[in-house]
Structure 1
């Protein structure tokens, strides 16, 4: 993986914390446009869910986000 800003190759791994109620400790990306349910929360039923992984370029500090399927 290379930084899209400076083409650096030393990307430091990290993660985006999700501290919302009922959080599992990681951020998630959900396939499809945001649709809100009856109580204002995002509709997720039947959609693909991917875990967000974040990498910081040690050269320019640009943050790159990637997703992987949920285990």
Structure 2
């Protein structure tokens, strides 16, 4: 699906909508943006409890391939 977003690299209008997949262990299938600097817990994983998060939406330029990322819906 294309839209009226403009590529910040080459100026092309109409980027292709997509998403960044997270296929890691125990993943939910999509990547998220989490507010604040990365802090690690006791077992080495990222601390996320109580932090705001947003789903990441990706748009690709059909001309130059540049990706534009947007943090959209979340908690």
TM-score past 0.5 threshold: yes
Instruction: Tell me the residue number matched to 2:44.
Output: 40
Instruction: Tell me the residue number matched to 1:12.
Output: 16
| Structure 1 gaps, min length 5 | none
Q: Determine if contact 1:3/1:64 at 8 Å carries over to the other structure.
A: yes
- Would you identify which runs of 4 or more consecutive aligned residues in structure 1 move more than 3 Å? none
Instruction: Tell me the residue number matched to 1:27.
Output: 31
Query: In the comparison of the two structures, how many residue pairs are matched?
Result: 71
Q: Equivalents in 1 of 2:59, 2:46: separation in Å? A: 26
Query: With CA pairs under 8 Å and 6+ residues apart, which has the higher RCO, 1 or 2?
Result: 1
Q: Equivalents in 2 of 1:56, 1:50: separation in Å? A: 19
The offset of 1:13, in angstroms, is 0.8
* TM-score normalised over the length of structure 1: 0.91
| Structure 2 gaps, min length 5 | none
* TM-score normalised over the length of structure 2: 0.87
Q: CA RMSD in A?
A: 1.2
The offset of 1:29, in angstroms, is 0.6
Q: Equivalents in 2 of 1:33, 1:16: separation in Å? A: 20
Q: Equivalents in 1 of 2:38, 2:73: separation in Å? A: 19
